């Protein structure tokens, strides 16, 4: 089953209360998350809204969403195809459900009146991934990588590898460093890392 998700205005015509809360949430996270994260949340929420509009058009608000709705939604979503594969991948399914879980957690913590009595998605609902999680390099491998980088003729290669190894920055964090990221704190120089996946800025030595 593959079809384009309805836009928010079309969904609002069927389940206005649900859409109002979801769009309010997107407005709020746009002030604290990166644009890509907001787009992902938009897609996940529109998917849930499309399912509710199709299966339970009489629902009046997000507070009415219960465990059974999410169980049925998970099956509905798993049967859909994405742009590249015949069926949505476990990784995409896990990401969508995880994004929706954060939606329910946040509106509950923000004490919104339209929050459900309990978060209807639990961690065990997220599909197990079929690929191993990335692991940090051990000391010997890190030393080999550093030696190989130092032998490279391009200074950019040498600097990038050494900064990543010595600070533990993610590649995305490194590429978004500002020109004035190096700051002096006491007698030491530090890198100021802007807000990233840890949801707060920090300093790396």
Residue 1: band (very low, low, confident or very high) from pLDDT cuts 50, 70, 90: very low
Residues of the chain with CATH 1.10.150: 8-125
160/109: higher pLDDT: 109
Residue 58: band (very low, low, confident or very high) from pLDDT cuts 50, 70, 90: very high
pLDDT in tens, 105-139: 999 999 999 999 999 999 888 887 665 656 677 78
Hey, what CATH topology would domain 8-125 get?
Answer: DNA polymerase; domain 1 (1.10.150)
202/180: higher pLDDT: 180
| Maximum mean pLDDT: which of 147-156, 169-178, 182-191 | 147-156
195 to 31, 33, 176: CA distances (angstroms) = 12, 8, 10
* pLDDT score recorded for residue 81: 64
Residue 86: band (very low, low, confident or very high) from pLDDT cuts 50, 70, 90: low
* pLDDT score recorded for residue 98: 94
* pLDDT at 191 exceeding the cut of 80: no
* pLDDT score recorded for residue 5: 83
* pLDDT score recorded for residue 127: 82
Residue recorded with tokens 């329910």 = 104
29/84: higher pLDDT: 29
Residue 18: band (very low, low, confident or very high) from pLDDT cuts 50, 70, 90: very high
* pLDDT at 170 exceeding the cut of 70: yes
Residue 201: band (very low, low, confident or very high) from pLDDT cuts 50, 70, 90: low
């Amino acid at each position: 089953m593959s079809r384009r998700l309805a836009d928010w205005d079309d969904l609002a015509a069927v389940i206005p209360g649900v859409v109002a809360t979801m769009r309010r949430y997107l407005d709020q996270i746009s002030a604290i998350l990166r644009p890509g994260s907001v787009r992902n949340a938009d897609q996940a929420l529109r998917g849930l809204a499309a399912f509710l509009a199709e299966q339970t058009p009489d629902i009046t608000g997000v507070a009415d969403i219960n465990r059974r709705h999410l169980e049925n939604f998970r099956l509905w979503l798993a049967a859909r195809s994405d742009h590249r594969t015949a069926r949505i991948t476990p990784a995409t399914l896990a990401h969508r459900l995880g994004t929706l879980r954060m939606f329910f957690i946040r509106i509950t913590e923000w004490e919104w009146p339209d929050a459900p009595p309990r978060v209807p998605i639990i961690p065990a609902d997220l599909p197990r991934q079929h690929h191993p999680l990335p692991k940090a390099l051990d000391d010997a491998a890190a030393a080999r990588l550093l030696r190989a980088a130092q032998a490279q003729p391009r200074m950019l290669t040498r600097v990038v590898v050494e900064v990543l190894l010595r600070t533990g920055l993610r590649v995305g964090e490194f590429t978004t460093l500002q020109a004035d990221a190096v700051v002096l704190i006491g007698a030491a120089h530090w890198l100021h890392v802007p807000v990233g996946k840890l949801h707060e800025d920090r300093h790396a030595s």
